[in-house]
Chains A and B, each alone.
Chain A
């Protein structure tokens, strides 16, 4: 076997993919009629994109040595701002097309504003990412609740709802959007100039600054981009649920962190592959859908998910430790 191929087969990502296959087969055997049903596969294909995009957003931030605890509230604040305008315009007699256009633009702009806020506080003021985004999380949630008064915003034009609920040539539109985002994030992180810079910042910001790189600007832009991705996830969620509410997707927050770390992204920054995160997203999605469909109650599903995560992360840690010792 070629050494390159051999190396790849032994890589973390290959091991992770194997774990995915095993879990997929296991679920299929447990419940061949339901897990492998077209209905379930489709429903996973509609759910996975929003989670996947949030996980990629989280990953980008973690690569720089940060974290974004406000990621899901960025998504919901964005969808609420855009959704509020969209439903009002539509109800006020604007055409569906114009309302949807303005709504989407405002959702993206809203997420960028959240990103600019986080980016400024973290990159230019210098607050620790965990604390800054913890504050931002409550801040964004508060604004959302102020707008919605705790309810959900609805009354979107059918054209908007179609985004999250139709398929083109059998492929769900959210999945198409996810694949596009995935390709872009891959090119951005692993092939672009700025991506390379982010890995270096995450490994050692001081050396990076001493090398003539504007670390603050790069960090600021990182939070902008990560938040824009959250905004896209927000659009998909609002469209799929046909409404906008501050609590949508809040369970994705820690799952996104888990997916990134499970996928091999170092929580300390500087390390991580896009493909790893994507496989981890698949694993988590298959486990949660699978357990749900075989009828395990939600609480036990959490127990099992938590255990699986811990086991996989432990295996990861031990293999790395072993490699380290062999070196």
Chain B
């Protein structure tokens, strides 16, 4: 390993009423991939923001950077100290070109008054060459896939001569293939002597790439371990402080069909999709990202109607050409992107839960019955154990798990027959995950038909009764989820 690049000593951060970080101390060497691990709320994001200068830590701590000792960093100092963070949203400019995105920061740093296009081209080409990828410099960023945008973000940090690259859940919206490519690039950067701080919730990825693990729990430093010092069970138990595994629920064979999808096709999305969902069944829909899973779900829900094919609910043909139709027919859809599609973040828990219930809450007068609305909200918050128990709380302030519970509450309130959940535990900590699993299982026991889309195979195996595997827009096979392994599924999906 290389020499120490950055060292943290006694770093604490207090927010009003909350101690987000307490005496964190560890160091990162150049030429290593260092994983930062912890459940949601463990303090990872706060720590990143301290490293990037967004937050100032409490006084008393030290950041030692290239021999210089400081108490805190400003964003500009972080940039000058060559620390680059790639947030989940990349913080790029979707309306500018690849070149501008990569090189603009450089020209801002140089205090140029005029844009030197030639220099920008050189800088961005250099950066992309270092990554070993070729992209048209003049493409508008927003037209690129997520994976390519991410590479642009990495190229930008290379252009800024980053020596420490922080990647916040970089794999969360990538396909397996794209993840592999990203890891190759991370390896080559490491070999060039760069330090990488890598944040992920996916255990297998952590082990695949990291040299060291630093574990945080409840804002406290738990320890730093070499990759050969831990196995995944030990890692998880350090994270949560207790041993946790997904509970494997017993599988049931159901016979009474609830929803039949027949010959669903949509050009460029999926082809000839056929499956049956039974009453009280959880059907997993899996495959690589981009295999067409979400598109099928959206087609069923009327968001992305199929070109051909029929939908039978309880044996009767229905047509969902808008979400409105689908909801009326008894469908519910918990989308993958909770923050952009699931919740109105600027509104309260009450507003969000009652959003699907406005018709029922208002009688013929079309005025909302406020008492009924309050009751409905209280009722669901209690049933779903949403915390804090404050209906007026703005949903952006809730934890990921509680946000997801609000989204699910909003749908269960409609008393649906079919519930479709797309990556329901994405970005949610392990404790909250098993809570959601239990909940879905309970709902199925009550007769609801559930389709769960998940990239996480252990999750599918834990709670689904059957699984349909998609590849390139088609369903390749179906399994009954007993006595099969992740490898069985993966071999079909690849």
A contact set with B: CB distance below 8 Å: 187, 191-194, 196-197, 199-200, 203-204, 206-214, 270-271, 326
A199-B347, A270-B347 given as contacts; is B341 within 8 A of A212 (CB)?
Answer: no
Whether B367 pairs with A191 at a CB distance below 8 angstroms is yes
In the assembled complex, the Cα of A187 lies from the Cα of B367 at a distance in Å of 8
Whether A213 pairs with B324 at a CB distance below 8 angstroms is yes
Residues of B within 8 A of A206 (CB): 340-341
User: Interface code B397-430, partner A: CB below 8 Å = 1, 0 otherwise?
Assistant: 0000000000000100010000000000000000
Residue in contact with A207 in the complex, picked from B303, B344, B370, CB distance below 8 Å? B344
Whether B366 pairs with A193 at a CB distance below 8 angstroms is yes
Residues of A within 8 A of B366 (CB): 192-194
Within 8 A of A (CB), among B354-403: 354-356, 358-359, 361-362, 366-368, 370
Using CB atoms, name the residue of chain A closest to B346: A203
In the assembled complex, the Cα of A137 lies from the Cα of B366 at a distance in Å of 32
Question: In the assembled complex, how far is the CB of residue B356 from the closest CB belonging to chain A, in whole angstroms?
Answer: 5
Residue with the greatest number of chain A CB neighbours at <10 A, chosen from B323, B328, B354, B414: B323
In the assembled complex, the Cα of A187 lies from the Cα of B356 at a distance in Å of 20
Question: In the assembled complex, how far is the CB of residue B354 from the closest CB belonging to chain A, in whole angstroms?
Answer: 7
* Contact sample, A vs B, 19 pairs, CB 8 Å cutoff: A191-B368, A193-B361, A196-B354, A196-B355, A199-B347, A199-B351, A204-B345, A207-B344, A208-B344, A209-B323, A210-B333, A211-B327, A211-B356, A211-B410, A212-B323, A212-B414, A213-B358, A270-B346, A270-B347
Question: In the assembled complex, how far is the CB of residue B423 from the closest CB belonging to chain A, in whole angstroms?
Answer: 15
Whether B351 pairs with A200 at a CB distance below 8 angstroms is yes
Residues of A within 8 A of B344 (CB): 200, 203-204, 207-208, 270
Residue in contact with A211 in the complex, picked from B323, B367, B370, CB distance below 8 Å? B323
Residues of A within 8 A of B347 (CB): 199-200, 203, 270
Residues of B within 8 A of A214 (CB): 322, 324
Whether A196 pairs with B358 at a CB distance below 8 angstroms is yes
Residue with the greatest number of chain B CB neighbours at <10 A, chosen from A192, A207, A208, A270: A207
Q: Does B290 contact A (CB under 8 A)?
A: no
Residues of A within 8 A of B340 (CB): 204, 206-207
Residues of A within 8 A of B341 (CB): 206-207, 210
Having A199-B347, A200-B351, one finds 17 other A-B pairs with CB under 8 Å, namely A191-B370, A193-B358, A196-B351, A196-B354, A199-B351, A200-B355, A204-B346, A206-B340, A207-B341, A208-B344, A210-B333, A211-B355, A212-B328, A212-B356, A213-B358, A214-B324, A270-B346
Within 8 A of A (CB), among B314-343: 322-324, 326-328, 333, 335, 340-343
In the assembled complex, the Cα of A270 lies from the Cα of B362 at a distance in Å of 20
In the assembled complex, the Cα of A326 lies from the Cα of B17 at a distance in Å of 11
Residues of A within 8 A of B342 (CB): 207, 210
In the assembled complex, the Cα of A326 lies from the Cα of B343 at a distance in Å of 24
Question: In the assembled complex, how far is the CB of residue A250 from the closest CB belonging to chain B, in whole angstroms?
Answer: 34
Using CB atoms, name the residue of chain A closest to B397: A327
Question: In the assembled complex, how far is the CB of residue A185 from the closest CB belonging to chain B, in whole angstroms?
Answer: 13
In the assembled complex, the Cα of A22 lies from the Cα of B367 at a distance in Å of 36
A193-B361, A204-B344, A270-B346 given as contacts; is B367 within 8 A of A213 (CB)?
Answer: no
Q: Is the interface of A mostly helix, strand, loop or mixed?
A: helix
Question: In the assembled complex, how far is the CB of residue B313 from the closest CB belonging to chain A, in whole angstroms?
Answer: 15
The contact size tier of chain B is 20 to 34
Residues of A within 8 A of B356 (CB): 211-212
A192-B368, A200-B351, A204-B345 given as contacts; is B324 within 8 A of A212 (CB)?
Answer: yes
Residues of B within 8 A of A196 (CB): 351, 354-355, 358, 368
Using CB atoms, name the residue of chain A closest to B334: A210
Question: In the assembled complex, how far is the CB of residue A325 from the closest CB belonging to chain B, in whole angstroms?
Answer: 10
Residues of B within 8 A of A270 (CB): 344, 346-347
Residues of B within 8 A of A197 (CB): 358
Question: In the assembled complex, how far is the CB of residue A327 from the closest CB belonging to chain B, in whole angstroms?
Answer: 8
Using CB atoms, name the residue of chain A closest to B354: A196
Whether B303 pairs with A192 at a CB distance below 8 angstroms is no
In the assembled complex, the Cα of A70 lies from the Cα of B56 at a distance in Å of 48
Whether B355 pairs with A208 at a CB distance below 8 angstroms is yes
Residue with the greatest number of chain B CB neighbours at <10 A, chosen from A193, A194, A208, A214: A193
In the assembled complex, the Cα of A207 lies from the Cα of B324 at a distance in Å of 13
Q: Which 4 A-B pairs have the closest CB atoms?
A: A212-B327, A193-B362, A193-B358, A204-B344
Whether A192 pairs with B367 at a CB distance below 8 angstroms is yes
Using CB atoms, name the residue of chain B closest to A270: B346
Question: In the assembled complex, how far is the CB of residue A11 from the closest CB belonging to chain B, in whole angstroms?
Answer: 14
In the assembled complex, the Cα of A326 lies from the Cα of B15 at a distance in Å of 10
Using CB atoms, name the residue of chain A closest to B323: A212
In the assembled complex, the Cα of A213 lies from the Cα of B324 at a distance in Å of 6
In the assembled complex, the Cα of A203 lies from the Cα of B355 at a distance in Å of 12
Question: In the assembled complex, how far is the CB of residue A5 from the closest CB belonging to chain B, in whole angstroms?
Answer: 17
In the assembled complex, the Cα of A191 lies from the Cα of B373 at a distance in Å of 11
Whether B410 pairs with A193 at a CB distance below 8 angstroms is no
Using CB atoms, name the residue of chain A closest to B394: A327
In the assembled complex, the Cα of A326 lies from the Cα of B16 at a distance in Å of 8
Using CB atoms, name the residue of chain B closest to A207: B344
Question: In the assembled complex, how far is the CB of residue B380 from the closest CB belonging to chain A, in whole angstroms?
Answer: 15
Question: In the assembled complex, how far is the CB of residue A198 from the closest CB belonging to chain B, in whole angstroms?
Answer: 11
Residues of A within 8 A of B368 (CB): 191-193, 196
Whether A192 pairs with B355 at a CB distance below 8 angstroms is no
Question: In the assembled complex, how far is the CB of residue A288 from the closest CB belonging to chain B, in whole angstroms?
Answer: 33
Residues of A within 8 A of B410 (CB): 211
Residues of B within 8 A of A193 (CB): 358-359, 361-362, 366-368
Residues of B within 8 A of A207 (CB): 340-344, 355
In the assembled complex, the Cα of A191 lies from the Cα of B365 at a distance in Å of 10
In the assembled complex, the Cα of A213 lies from the Cα of B410 at a distance in Å of 13
Whether B362 pairs with A192 at a CB distance below 8 angstroms is yes
